[in-house]
Amino acid sequence: MTETRAPIAYLTGQYPKVSHTFIQREVEGLRALGWTIEACTVRRPAAKDVVGEAQKAEEARTFGVIEAAKNPVTMIRAQIRAIARDPRRWGRAVKLALKLRPPGVKATIWQLFYFLEAAVLAEHLEKKGVRHLHNHFADSSCTVAALTAEMLGIPYSFTMHGPTEFFAANWWCLGEKVSRARFVAAISHFCRSQLMYFAPRESWDHIRIVHCGVTPALYGPHEETEAPTVVFVGRLDSVKGVPLLIEAFARVREEHPRARLSIIGDGPERAACEARVQALGMGEVTTFHGYKTSAEVADMLRRSDMLVLPSFAEGVPVVLMEAMASGIPVVASGVAGVAELVGNGISGFTVPPGDVETLAARISVLIADPELRARMGQAGREKVEAEFDLSRETRWLSEIFTGALSGTLPEGLRPKD
C-alpha cells in the first residue's frame, strides 16, 4: 500500500502533449508512490498533440489556467482573493513580476498576463490544498509558477531541460529563478553546469540531477527486419535536423539500396521534408507516419535496426533512451548531455552536429554489420537499465520532494546505489 503524501501541483506551458510524454510518465510515477499530483497547464495543447486514450484522460483531469482566466469574473475574483489572502505577499508578487520582467513594452504586457494567470492558478491550488508547486521548463510557465508560489507562500521548484532557455537565460531571468526555487532538477550534468554558469554560487547546492527515464520492460526485444530500417522519432522542426537525415540517407542508399527510412512525428517542416524526399527519388523507401502513441512508437522501434537523431540542440532526448531500451543502436549529434547517455562506439555513435558525411558513414557502418548492431543494442539496453530507469528516477525525485517539504534536501547530486 502506498503512503499518502502532501498535495503537489505540476505546471507546464502545455500539458499533456505527445512531445512531452516524459512529464506525464513522471506524474504517473509519483502518483503510484502515493503523491497527490494536481496537474495544471498554462494553455491547452492542440487536439493533434494529444494522442491516445491515456493522454486524453490526463487532459480531462488537468486544470487549464488560461481557460479559466478567460472568464473576467474568475480573473477579478482571483486578484481580490490574492490581496485578501495576504496583502504583503501580493505586493511582493508585484515586485517579483517587475523583477522577472524582460526589457521592452511588449514584454511588460506579457508579464501582466503572467501575473493575472498566477492569481487564477493560486486560487485553484489553494482550494486543492497544494503545498508545493513544481514546473517543467524555465520559460514563461516558470515565471507563472514563481509568481503563484509568492502569492500563496508555498515553495516552488522546476525541472530544467534546455537548451532553449539557455539561449535566452537573461531574458527568462534564469539566475533569479534558480535562486528562488526550493530546488532545481537538472536532467544531466551538462544541464546542471549551465545552471551553475547563470546562477549565483549560493544556489548551486540545491540543484540536483534527475534523469528523464523510461521503463525498459516496455521496450524490445528487437525483431529482425526484412530490409535495413532507419527510424527517426521527434518533432519535424528545424532543431531536429531532419533535412540532414534525408540528405545522409540519400547517400546511404547508394551503398545500401534496400534500406528504408521511417519518420515518426509531425511539425512545421513536414511538408518541406516530404518534398525533398520526393525530389531525391526516395518516396518508395521513406514513410512519414505522423504522431504515434507511446505503445506504437515502442512497437516501431522494436522493428527497426537503428534510430538516428541529427539534432542541432538537445537536452538528453528520451527517444534515445527508448531506442536503446529496445536493443537497437543510435546515431545522434554529440550535443549537450547526449554523451552522458550514448557511448560513442559502445551503444551507438555520436557525430558532429551538421556533418552529413559522417552521419551517412555511421549509418552505413551499422547497416553493413548486424553483429555490431546487436552488441551496441545490448550495451544500450544495459546503460538505460542502470542509469535511466524511470522507476529509479521517480523514487529519487520523490525523495527530493520529501526533503523540499521538510526543509532538508537529500545529500548528493544523484541517488545512492
With vertex at residue 19, the alpha carbon angle to CA 386 and CA 210, rounded to the nearest 5 degrees, is 35
3-state secondary structure of 231: strand
Cell numbers of 249, please?
A: 540517407
Judged by DSSP in three states, 6 sits in coil
Backbone angles phi, psi at 389, to 5 degrees: -80, 125
DSSP reduced 3-state for 366: helix
Task: Using CA atoms of 268, 273, 275, 276 in order, give the dihedral in degrees to the nearest 10.
Answer: 150
Query: Under a CB-based contact definition with an 8 Å cutoff, are residues 144 and 110 in contact?
Result: no
- Residues 245, 262: Cα–Cα separation, whole Å: 11
CA 251 to mean position of chain CA atoms? 32
The domain made up of 8-213+389-406 is a member of CATH 3.40.50.2000: yes
pLDDT at residue 3, rounded to an integer:
53
The whole-angstrom separation of Cα 281 and Cα 270 is 17
* Cα–Cα distance for residue pair 21/351, rounded to 1 Å: 26
Fold entry, domain 216-387: Rossmann fold (3.40.50)
pLDDT of 5: 84
Decide if 135 contacts 177 (C-beta within 8 A): no
What is the number of H-type helices and E-type strands within the chain?
17, 13
Residue pointed to by grid coordinates 506551458 = 13
d(CA 68, CA 74): 7
C-alpha distances (whole Å) from 130 to each of 43, 135, 156, 183, 185 are 20, 14, 11, 17, 20
Domain boundaries, the chain: 8-213+389-406, 216-387
Question: pTM above the 0.85 mark?
Answer: yes
Q: Return the pLDDT at 183.
A: 98
Same fold? 8-213+389-406, 216-387: yes
Backbone angles phi, psi at 310, to 5 degrees: -90, 45
- pLDDT (0 to 100) of residue 334: 97
Helix-strand-coil split of the chain, %, nearest 5? 55, 15, 30
Backbone angles phi, psi at 287, to 5 degrees: -120, 130
* CA nearest to 289, candidates 234, 367, 251, 218: 234
* pLDDT by 10s per residue, the chain, length 417: 345 588 999 999 999 999 899 999 999 999 999 999 999 999 999 999 999 999 999 999 999 999 999 999 999 999 999 999 999 999 999 999 999 999 999 999 999 999 999 999 999 999 999 999 999 999 999 999 999 999 999 999 999 999 999 999 999 999 999 999 999 999 999 999 999 999 999 999 999 999 999 999 999 999 988 899 999 999 999 999 999 999 999 999 999 999 999 999 999 999 999 999 999 999 999 999 999 999 999 999 999 999 999 999 999 999 999 999 999 999 999 999 999 999 999 999 999 999 999 999 999 999 999 999 999 999 999 999 999 999 999 999 999 999 999 999 999 999 987
Q: What residues contact 156, with CB distance under 8 A and at least 6 apart? A: 132, 133, 134, 135, 145, 146, 148, 149, 180, 181, 182
Give the per-residue pLDDT at 1: 35
| Dist. CA 358–CA 364, nearest whole Å | 10
